[in-house]
Amino acid sequence: MRRALYHLVLVQAVISGALSFAHLHDLAQAAGQTGWKAWAYPVSVDLLMVAAWRRLRAHRSWLAWCWFLIALVASLGANVATAGFLDMDHPPALLRLGVAGWPALAFLGGTLLAHAPEPPTALADTSPEPVPSALDSERTPEPTPEPEPAAIPPVDDTPALPTAEADPTPTTPAPAMPVPPALVAHARKVADEHHARTGSPIDPEALRARLGVPAPMAAAIAAQLA
């Protein structure tokens, strides 16, 4: 739909431009401009109108509006004048004067439009960011991170209960040494013999001397014989 509408507008613009072009040519020819000069007038009017319209789209200034209206009056006046409102065989002197002075007027308008200052536009700042130099890094040290506060342990307000004084030298039982059963049986015989002879149980020191074993093993054997 949009493409078809574009084609219709384009065809209508071509037809309207051709008719306006022909009317301007006929008016210039009636005012005494012959040959290629009569064909140059329509081109001059249309180009001035297009230039003024483009300037209006960029910036709506009074200069662009002024020259757009001048070109529009010249084109519209030629179309109306050639529709039977003007005697083309005997054109008035004012029309001859306007057609003769049009080239200078159109040149002045085109020059002013071309050299008009551009409207201020908000352009994005595309300048690169300044790169910090070595001197800047030395002058401005990097901030050091602040240390986090240490966690304070909660204070226990409960009064301490009196405790019994601990023994500075606690006695821990010695680990039991493994003793072979045959050695225990032999030690029992030695202990019975010692008890029968002396009438008292044998002590670990005597048992160690009789059996020829280390003191810890002798103590372990005496514990099993008790």
- Domain borders along the chain are 2-114, 181-225
The residue among 120, 105, 119 whose CA lies nearest residue 56 is 119
- Spatial contact of 103 and 35, defined as CB atoms under 8 Å apart: no
Q: What is the pLDDT of residues 118-132, one digit of tens each?
A: 766 544 445 555 555
pLDDT for the residue numbered 133: 55
- Residue 146: its pLDDT value, please? 64
The tens digit of pLDDT for each residue in 73-107 reads 988 888 888 877 777 778 888 888 888 889 899 89
21: part of which helix (H) or strand (E)? helix 2-30
pLDDT tens digits, residue range 3-20?
888 888 888 888 888 888
Q: Which helix (H) or strand (E) holds 194?
A: helix 181-198
Q: What are the pLDDT digits (tens) for 142-162?
A: 566 665 655 555 555 555 554
- For 87, counting Cβ atoms within 10 Å of its Cβ (0-12 exposed, 13-18 middle, 19+ buried), the class is exposed
Confidence of residue 181 (pLDDT cuts 50, 70, 90): confident
Q: Residue 164 — pLDDT band, cuts 50, 70, 90?
A: very low
Residue the block writes with tokens 């050639």 = 82
Express as a percent the part of the chain with pLDDT over 70.
74
| Residue 167 and residue 182 in contact, taking contact as beta carbons nearer than 8 Å | no
Residue 38 reports pLDDT greater than 80: yes
Q: What is the pLDDT of residue 122?
A: 42
Average predicted confidence (pLDDT) for the chain? 76
Residue 84: the pLDDT is: 76
Look at residue 28 in the predicted model and tell me its pLDDT.
87
